[in-house]
Amino acid sequence: MKVLLVAALIALLPAAALARPGLDASIGPDGVTITDSEKPVLFYRTKPADPSVEPGRLNYVHPLYAPDGTILTQDRPADHLHQRGVFWSWHQIRLGGDQVADGWFMKGLTFFVRQTNFDGERGGAGVLTLQVDWIINSGPELVFVAKEVTRVRIQPLKDGPRRIDFDTTITPLVDDLSIGGSDDAKGYGGFSIRLVASDRLVFASGGKAVKPAVTPVTAASSMGFTWPGQPGLSKWAVGMACKVNGRPVSLWILRRETSMQNCVWPGRAPVALPKDKPLRLQSTLIIRATGK
């Protein structure tokens, strides 16, 4: 009788009351889904959808969700098939001065996600920790050139904006490894995001409007993206900030067209990554309501 009574009471509860509170992770065969009270926050891909065609299409976030469930990112858009949600990559991957891979186009470089862990913090945040191998596959043999550890820290929504911090260390395992952006005046590379309806975006930094340009734009150490007048999107704003080895990045590739947005580092000239010396990238995304 008591079991039947409990079951009846549960059936009368609204769905919201049954939702599991707080941040949680579901680890599946292709990736990790992070939820907050059972509402999706993001999906991190651990395996490529088509390994025979694009073996390097993993180790990125998509979809990224607004708190109301609106998807804010795009993956494999028709205009730039290589762009993928929230990702960190570089055109120039060099060994001994020779370019051996293009991480931006996912040519010659793939990843192996060795381990995924999710832990809750006392204050309510959740941390997804990812241990990833960098593997050069452009030659006759596979070469493990670096190990990457990324900690994705997701703050609970509560009454404020959603904050997501990406803290990545890349530790070279070989001598003479270097990375660089596109080998042109744009020099794009590093932490990037492909937002939906990017041709409708408006940009602001340091309290001032910013005009996109073909080449990098110098602004403050954070950039805001909004979609004024766009149904379903105008009520959300996305902020982005990046640091490299503790130093803020203030160069930006901004596109008010169908493309990605990028914290530019290191630029066109490759930067050497000494063996066993970690490179640290810290990037923050903030999703907040605009009140519109």
> Could you read off the pLDDT of 115-167 as tens digits, one per residue?
999 999 998 999 999 999 999 999 999 999 999 999 999 999 877 899 999 99
Q: In which residue are the tokens 């059936």 written? A: 11
Residues 6 or more apart in contact with residue 70 via CB below 8 angstroms: 232, 233, 236
| Inter-CA distances, 6 with 3, 20, 59, 83, 184, Å | 5, 18, 44, 50, 67
E strand or H helix at 5, and its extent?
helix 2-12
Q: Which of 82, 44, 87 has its CA nearest to residue 191? A: 87
> Could you read off the pLDDT of 14-39 as tens digits, one per residue?
544 445 579 999 999 999 999 999 99
Domain boundaries, the chain: 2-191+265-289
Residue-by-residue DSSP string for 102-148: BTTTTBSEEEEEEEEEEEE-TTS-EEEEEEEEEEE-SSSS-EEEEEE
Q: In which residue are the tokens 């130093």 written? A: 247
> Which residues are 205's β-sheet partners?
208
> Could you read off the pLDDT of 36-74 as tens digits, one per residue?
999 999 999 999 999 999 999 999 999 999 999 999 999
What is the distance between the alpha carbons of residues 213 and 236, in angstroms, rounded to a whole number?
24
